[in-house]
Structure 1
Amino acid sequence: MIGLLVALLSAVVYTVGLTVEQRALHGSESISVNRPLHLARVLLTNPRWVAGCAFAALGSVGLVVSLGLAPVSVAQPAFAAGVACGILVITLVLGERLTRGEYVALGVMPVALGLLSLSTADGTATGTTAHTPLLVIVSLATVASCLAVVGLAGGRGRYMSAAAMGIAAGFAQGSAGLQGKGLGGLLADHGLWDAVVPALLSPHPYLYAVGWAVGIVLFQTSMQRSRASITAPVANVAGNVFMVVMGTLLFGERLPDDPVMLGLRIGGFALTLVVVVLVRGNVARVEADTSRRRAQDTAPGPAGARPAQSL
């Protein structure tokens, strides 16, 4: 129960950071993964984006802690559902219009992740250790594949949609999450201070940094092209499914033996795929709307006035 509460609280902090990042991005220069130095300059010289990134990083640290306290199929879905619900609330508060598909997608996503959480009600044990070489190979292969796909698409001059880039970001962040699960296991097994040395001697923090860096670059690029209510659910679903499946396997967290619990698990995963389909249909229109608003925001207005930014 404590792990679930920590995951939800971390989701609130992460969502606040995500919202601040989004508003900073929509008022900044256009960024591209094909221009990494320019991308780094635009992001790191924007104080509002840096502040949002700090909040998001704090939320990610909270997720690491929760992963050591609860099974990955409980902590990760709770975190992702919390982020989705938080984005919906903030979007509505700021007066942004959502399409019917977005309402359905954001409504289905918490249900899907809730089913995954309910499927562990029979007291599934929390795995804290994994086969380290296999964990390293999976993480590196995932990050390398994400970079290869994005680089290949960009190198051939093809346009990669915000949703597709969000999926790649989700997989990269999922690989970081696997390393976060390893760090959370060390915290659970050794305690905070006694886990410092084993953590520094393990590959977990370094591979976490790699996956997090690649994931955040891809995610920020996709979020500038669209809005958080589009990109975050896609990235969350992709990262959530990847991390739950691979985390369960790599950390030896068994699937439920009870047929009802197993059915809830399968149903949860099926609904996450529905979310991707629903969100994908709105991406082209939202990207066009976002590009138009960004052009208006960056254009000089009368007496230096600028239109208000929206999420």
Structure 2
Amino acid sequence: MTGLIAALIAAAVYTAGLVIEQRALHRAPTITIRRPLALARVLLGSPRWLAGCALAALGSIGLIIALGLAPVSVVQPAFAAGIATMLLVCSLLLGDRITTGERAALALMPVALLLLSLSLGSPDAAEVGTEPHMAGLWLVSAGTVVLCVAAVGLGGQGRYVSAVALGCAAGLAQGVAGLQGKGLGGLLAEEGLLSAIPPALASPYPYLYALGWAVGIVLFQTSLQRSRASVTAPVANVTGNVFMVLLGTVLFGERLPDDPLLLVLRIAGIALTLVVVVLVRGTVAQAEADTTRLREDNGAGVRSP
């Protein structure tokens, strides 16, 4: 249960940073991954975006800690569910329109969290993997990042790449970073904070984490500017969620619950977090049109120099 609570706190901090980033981007010149220097100038030249990014990074550190305390099949869905729920709440508080489907997603997320928490069973029943199959981790991490960059690059040749496609690619890249976070969380759980620093620096985790994070943040910030955070963030996070649960469970040798009831609860909890994509997918086109009008009204619709 401690890992689940840590994941929800991390999600709250991450969401606060995400909302700040979104507001900053909607007032910034248009960014594109095809002009990386201009993109860097826009992002690094915005104090508000940097503040949001710092909060999001703090939330990511909280996720790393949570991954060392509970199975990835519990922590990752809880983190994604927490972000999606809090973003929709922020949308309501800020006066944004949300659809019936998004309201249904808002209602389903607490149910998903309850199922995930119940699936843990007794405190000793949850098996937490701390050491991955290293060769598999290298292959999955490098291959996924290369495929994400190549797919977005090829898809963007003469065609518009939607916020959802960018969000999915960002989710996969963030999933790569998440796998490294799981490894770092395992080191923290086994060694303690200070003792974990030398083995962490000697491992591939921080470097692969930086690679996945860098690719993911560029793709995600581009998708975030084209639509509302309550649309793009669930797409990216649920995509990364599936990636993390499936591959993290396998690579770190974690087993799903042996008890049939707990297994059903775990699978149902994970499945409900995926329903968000289905519920919000139909609103993407309208959300992107609304965001474009908002940016034009704010005078930010020009391309960055």
Match of 2:229 in 1: 228
Alpha carbons of structure 1 residues 10 and 274: separation in structure 2 relative to 1, 3 Å: closer
1:22-51 per-position Cα deviation (integer Å, ceiling 9, x unaligned): 000000000111111111111000110001
Instruction: Give 5+ residue unaligned stretches, structure 2.
Output: none
What is the rounded CA distance, in whole Å, between the counterparts of 1:245 and 1:110 in structure 2? 22
1:176-226 per-position Cα deviation (integer Å, ceiling 9, x unaligned): 000000001111111111111100010000000010111111111111000
Alpha carbons of structure 1 residues 84 and 128: separation in structure 2 relative to 1, 3 Å: same
Point out the more displaced range, 197-206 or 263-272.
Answer: 263-272
- Asked if 1:70 corresponds to 2:63, the answer is no
Match of 1:21 in 2: 21
What is the rounded CA distance, in whole Å, between the counterparts of 1:285 and 1:140 in structure 2? 35
Match of 1:45 in 2: 45
Alpha carbons of structure 1 residues 26 and 235: separation in structure 2 relative to 1, 3 Å: same
TM-aligned CA deviation for residue 113 of structure 1: 4.9
User: Quick one: which amino acid aligns to residue 292 of structure 1?
Assistant: R
Please show how residues 1-311 of structure 1 align to structure 2 within 5 Å.
1-122=1-122, 123-155=125-157, 157-298=158-299
SS at match of 2:161: coil
Contact 1:3–1:66 at 8 Å: present in 2 too? yes
TM-aligned CA deviation for residue 127 of structure 1: 0.6
Point out the more displaced range, 270-279 or 213-222.
Answer: 270-279
Alpha carbons of structure 1 residues 267 and 62: separation in structure 2 relative to 1, 3 Å: same
Give the aligned length. Answer: 299
1:49-89 per-position Cα deviation (integer Å, ceiling 9, x unaligned): 00100000011011111111111122212222221121122
SS at match of 2:129: coil
C-alpha RMSD of the superposition? 1.6
What is the rounded CA distance, in whole Å, between the counterparts of 2:68 and 2:148 in structure 1? 27
User: Quick one: which amino acid aligns to residue 251 of structure 2?
Assistant: L
Alpha carbons of structure 1 residues 299 and 195: separation in structure 2 relative to 1, 3 Å: closer
SS at match of 2:78: helix
What is the rounded CA distance, in whole Å, between the counterparts of 2:107 and 2:239 in structure 1? 17
SS at match of 1:256: coil
Contact 2:108–2:272 at 8 Å: present in 1 too? yes
Per the normalisation by structure 2, the TM-score is 0.93
Match of 1:306 in 2: none
Alpha carbons of structure 1 residues 90 and 293: separation in structure 2 relative to 1, 3 Å: same
1:247-303 per-position Cα deviation (integer Å, ceiling 9, x unaligned): 111111101222222222332343344322221111011101100110011179xxx
TM-aligned CA deviation for residue 4 of structure 1: 2.0
Point out the more displaced range, 43-52 or 159-168.
Answer: 159-168
SS at match of 1:298: coil
User: Quick one: which amino acid aligns to residue 296 of structure 1?
Assistant: D
TM-aligned CA deviation for residue 110 of structure 1: 4.2
Point out the more displaced range, 113-122 or 271-280.
Answer: 113-122
What is the rounded CA distance, in whole Å, between the counterparts of 1:84 and 1:169 in structure 2? 16
